[in-house]
Amino acid sequence: MKKLINDPADVVAEAVAGFGAAHADLVVVSHDPTFVRRAEGPTPGRVAIVSGGGSGHEPLHAGFVGYGMLSAAVPGPVFTSPTPDPILAATSAVDGGAGVLYIVKNYTGDVLNFETAADLAEADGITVESVLVDDDVAVKDSLFTAGRRGVAGTVVVEKIAGASAERGDDLATVAALARRAVAATRSMGVALAAGTVPHAGEPGFMLGDDEIEFGVGIHGEPGRERMPLEPVDAIVERLLSAVTDDLGVAAGDRVLLFVNGMGGTPSIELYIAYRRAGELLSEQGVTVARSLVGDYVTSLEMQGLSITVTRLDDELTELWDAPVETAALRRGR
């Protein structure tokens, strides 16, 4: 597997340096320890939001640092949780005295390291609340996870919480809204081919020429089953029904429909899938009130996609629509 890299050991540091250089209007990069924070310093009295996790899922999380979303992102090594030190350093750098919300994808390493960082931050006098994202309906308990995995729905949670913090809500309110977003969000993915971790040099898993991994995780973890490739309309129907059944979507609901590319899927395929998912929801009497289509939570160059549905109420819609200025998501203020 060829890659456009130098030494595999330098991938994250060099990518973060490039990100900082390309987006110097939005972010400042710290290199030792490694984290990315908003260019402007903390606003006194404003809740800060920190997320992070293994690299390889870009633009998650650094691509969502900026006005109306994250205060800082902490990228670990590829597919590996960051340690507590950089999380703590990011926390101290962005705290404005009103507390810090951690948004953590539900993987054992992330959960432990963010917990430790929270303890250390509290010892330093910084109030921390944590929200776990576990939107993947594919499997319970998996490689690296007790309970459900956190996947593409993390973007929705970060956007909702970020808008809440930006409008000046207190820490309890921001955390409650983030939890409401988690409760309203479900996802499931499919892969046609795995991505390759740079230092591994080989794809994370191998599939046959006509085989797909249905319910795949964003680190290439196994899903519900390996099955034959079908027309995408049939795959979308399977993914969407798994998601909406679990979420209990019913006629009359208004939803955000999010089709996420895993990194190596052409844009036209994502839109073909979006089209069918939207048709299916309409047929069920569900209103697709908002949409998002693109590569937002990737798995290196994995070929595949995921479907995320968030049930919207008026407040979640307002927070989703609020202005945001980040490298990967922008909406005018």
By beta-carbon proximity to a copy of itself, the closer residue of 22 and 172 is 22
Q: Closer to a copy of itself at the Cβ: 73 or 259?
A: 259
Question: Is the dihedral angle over the CA atoms 155, 160, 166, 172 positive or is it negative?
Answer: negative
| Choice between 6 and 108, CB closer to a copy of itself | 6
d(CA 297, CA 60): 6
What is the smallest separation between the CB atom of 298 and a copy of itself, expressed in angstroms?
7
Among 304, 328, 85, CA closest to 191: 304
Q: Just list the catalytic residues.
A: 57, 219
Q: Look up tokens 């900026």; give the residue.
A: 66
Find residue 227's DSSP bridge partners.
Answer: 212
Nearest distance, CB of residue 24 and a copy of itself, angstroms: 8
Q: Where are the alpha helices (DSSP H) in the chain?
A: 11-22, 84-94, 108-123, 153-166, 171-183, 232-247, 267-283, 314-321
Residue listed under structure tokens 């430790």: 116
Q: Applying CB under 8 A, which part among 127-135, 151-159, 244-252, 269-277 lies near a copy of itself?
A: 269-277
Name which of residues 188 to 227 contact a copy of itself (CB under 8 A).
190, 192-193, 195, 209-210, 212
The stretch among 1-9, 110-118, 172-180, 241-249 that binds a copy of itself (CB under 8 A) is 1-9
Concatenate the DSSP letters of all residues of 242-264 into one string.
Answer: HHHHHHT--TT-EEEEEEEE-BS
Binding site for a copy of itself (CB under 8 A): 2-7, 11-12, 14-19, 21-23, 55-56, 58-59, 63, 78, 190, 192-193, 195, 209-210, 212, 229, 231-233, 235, 259, 263-276, 278, 288, 291, 293, 295, 298, 300-301, 303-305, 323, 325, 330-333
